[in-house]
Chain A
Amino acid sequence: MALNIIVCIKQVPDPEHFDKISIDTRTGSIQREGILSITNPLDRNAIEEALRKKEEFGGTVTVLTMGPPQAKKSIEDALAMGADKGVILCDMAFAGADTLSTARVLSVGIRSLGDFDLIFCGNETVDGATGHVAAQLAEFLDIPHVTFARRINIVDEETAMVERSIENGYLKVEVKLPAVISVLKSINKYRLPTVMGIMEAAGKEIVELGCSVCESAGITEGEIGIRGSPTKVLEIFEPPQRREVEMIEGKPEEIARRIVKRLHELEAL
């Protein structure tokens, strides 16, 4: 048995630097200058899971992203971790996509690659954190999906057993392949690229696909990018801070006494 696995990844701004994001008061758009980009952390768990399944059963791991030209860096990192092949969907026409439009373009890119057994995604990204794309991608591909996966066992060529986290427990889900599965952090500990891996990655293929792949699939420009996105961002603003803080000062014993007194007054105890 050999598994043909596709991993969808996204390059995102480094969450360590999210507090540096500001609004350009002139244009009202987001200013993220000087913020480094990284591969979405959960997507690395998805790559790791694909590599482990390949190590167990044989096959290939293809990483796929949609993004600007610099997103190629995330593909290269994945190849250095051990993925076999990279695909980047890159075109100005894809820009400004919401999750529906993103899932549509990813599905077109995936269809153009031929047969596959599994698609892995991170359960959500750190920037948008919607968690929509895996299930929506499965809808466009007309295959089953499982989200919130914390364990995946491949039973045979046609079946996987998934532990799917829910609040205070999990669901045991039997899923027929091909399927889209999005993974949680707890599924594994991902590896870091080795020097050897980085050297080998230089010889691996990265395919670039533009919007002609959509045209040949019969998808019009109105269905992709910002035009194909039902949701529109009208405004971005800084969150309001509502509380007026009362600082309690003094010696520790005194502070403790005054806090407890104030909490009683505020009917919080």
Chain B
Amino acid sequence: MKDVMVWVEQRDNRLMDVSLEMLQKATELAAVLKENVSAVLIGNECKDLADELILYGASKVFLIEDSRLQLYQSGPYVRITADIISEVSPEIVLIGGTSIGMDIASRVAATLRTGLTSHCVDLYIEKIEGKDQLVHIVPGWKGNMMLKIICPEHRPQMATVRPGVMEKGEPDHSLRGEIVSINPDIRDGDFKAKTLEMVHEEVEGISLDDADIIVSGGYGLYSAGGFKLIEELADAINGEVAGTRPAFDQGWIPENRMIGQSGKMVRPRLFVSIGASGAMHYTTGFSKANVIVGIDRNPKAAIFNVSDLGVVGDLEKIVPCLIEELKK
């Protein structure tokens, strides 16, 4: 078998969206390779999630259920995943790049002594020297350059992709697949790093992942009286507040509202960027929005290279007018 495999993440017995995004990409890659899509799902009493994965394109789901595996446990999760990969020998393994996905991907790749890339923004098959290779397009130096990477000799070819970078498909109820339940061989020594508890912390507003409209501010607001303008505009336009790394450093936004390569990758219908020059590591975070509006004082700001609509001018004059106009 030369499957395209997805390592699926569940939390609180719910599938992470990014895993469905990976299934969609796996389906595309498998179609090119004329191979099947398989998935690995680890958790506790989560067979219904396995059924769901089939509707999203997995023709085979390796299901591992155990009460001790309810939460992410790096030791057994890594060993079980690596064992299945060794057994099945997939050509490609995709993992959603959450903080947990990054963790397991790194160690599984090291266990299998194979190559891994992170934060891929594109993945496709190309014939290189007569062999089908997975091409990983990865931003480097905070997105100032892009790297084209392959893993020519080692298998599987492993990649992580951050949430929101790729699109998930629609569930197809006509799809059928097989669920292979595997009894985990869990040993005491597996829990040298033992997750005792998952603690949820309240996040204000809706998650940026689900936001249709995002209003994001940068350091340029410093002289325009701070972030209040952004909050008012977000209110008026029914959007969510976000910001750049400097905005986070100023304490204007919490870390989970920071847009960019080291923060959130979003794809809203409308993204409005205000008072941010448009450094690559920031713009990478919203380059897939449907419509982008850039407003900045500096006519040469890089933000205008990635915007659909651009405005040059004083933020403290333009933004209040915009708020007024939106309230009409």
Contact = CB atoms under 8 A, between A and B. Distances in A.
Interface stretch (A43-51, A84-92, A110-118, A121-129): A121-129
B308 interface: yes
B26 interface: no
B146 A237 contact: yes
B203 A236 contact: no
| Secondary structure type dominating chain B contacts | mixed
Contact of B109 (A23, A136, A179, A237): A136
A18 to B, nearest CB: 4
B149 interface: yes
A175 B270 contact: no
Contact of A268 (B99, B192, B261, B269): B269
A260 B318 CA distance: 12
A186 to B, nearest CB: 7
A106 B114 CA distance: 17
Nearest to A231: B115
Nearest to A261: B325
Given A186-B255, A269-B237, A230 B153 contact: yes
B243 interface: no
A249 B318 CA distance: 11
A173 B191 CA distance: 10
A237 B137 CA distance: 10
B116 A260 contact: no
A239 B115 contact: no
B99 A147 contact: yes
Contacts of B135: 234
Interface residues on A, range: 35 or more
A171 B71 contact: yes
Contacts, number: 251
Given A131-B118, A263-B293, A236 B146 contact: yes
Given A131-B106, A167-B98, A98 B115 contact: yes
A263 B270 contact: yes
A51 to B, nearest CB: 23
Interface in B120-162: 128, 135-136, 139-154
B34 interface: no
Between A139, A170, A174, A230, the greatest number of chain B beta carbons within 10 A of the residue's beta carbon is seen for A230
A176 B142 contact: no
B308 A234 contact: no
Interface in A148-201: 148, 164-176, 179, 186
Interface in B159-173: 163
Interface in B271-315: 279-281, 284, 287, 290-294, 304-314
Nearest to A35: B141
A75 B300 CA distance: 39
Contact of B256 (A98, A168, A238): A168
B72 interface: yes
Interface string B96-110: 001110110111011
Contacts of A217: none
Interface stretch (A1-9, A63-71, A205-213, A251-259): A251-259
A175 B116 contact: no
A169 B196 contact: no
Contacts of A167: 98-99, 163, 256
B75 interface: yes
A239 B146 contact: yes
Contacts of B324: 253, 256
B152 A232 contact: yes
Contacts of B308: 243-246, 266
Contacts of B139: 239
A135 interface: yes
Given A129-B262, A266-B291, A259 B195 contact: no
B325 A256 contact: yes
A263 to B, nearest CB: 7
Given A21-B141, A30-B145, A171 B197 contact: yes
B104 to A, nearest CB: 8
A132 B114 CA distance: 12
B313 to A, nearest CB: 7
Contacts of A24: none
Contacts of B105: 132
A252 B313 contact: yes
B235 to A, nearest CB: 14
23 contacts: A19-B280, A98-B115, A100-B114, A129-B118, A130-B117, A131-B106, A132-B106, A139-B110, A144-B193, A145-B74, A166-B98, A166-B198, A169-B199, A169-B201, A230-B114, A231-B149, A235-B147, A236-B148, A243-B292, A243-B305, A245-B294, A245-B308, A267-B269
Interface of A: 13, 15, 18-19, 21, 23, 30, 98-100, 103, 126-136, 138-140, 143-148, 164-176, 179, 186, 229-239, 241-249, 252-253, 255-257, 259-260, 262-263, 266-269
Given A172-B199, A249-B312, A268-B290, 11 more contacts: A136-B110, A145-B193, A166-B100, A167-B98, A173-B193, A173-B195, A174-B193, A236-B145, A236-B148, A241-B305, A245-B308
Interface of B: 11, 71-72, 74-75, 98-100, 102-103, 105-107, 109-111, 113-119, 128, 135-136, 139-154, 163, 192-201, 203, 207, 213, 237, 255-256, 261-262, 269-270, 279-281, 284, 287, 290-294, 304-314, 317-318, 320-322, 324-326
List of 4 A-B pairs having minimum Cβ-Cβ separation, nearest first: A230-B115, A139-B110, A135-B106, A144-B192
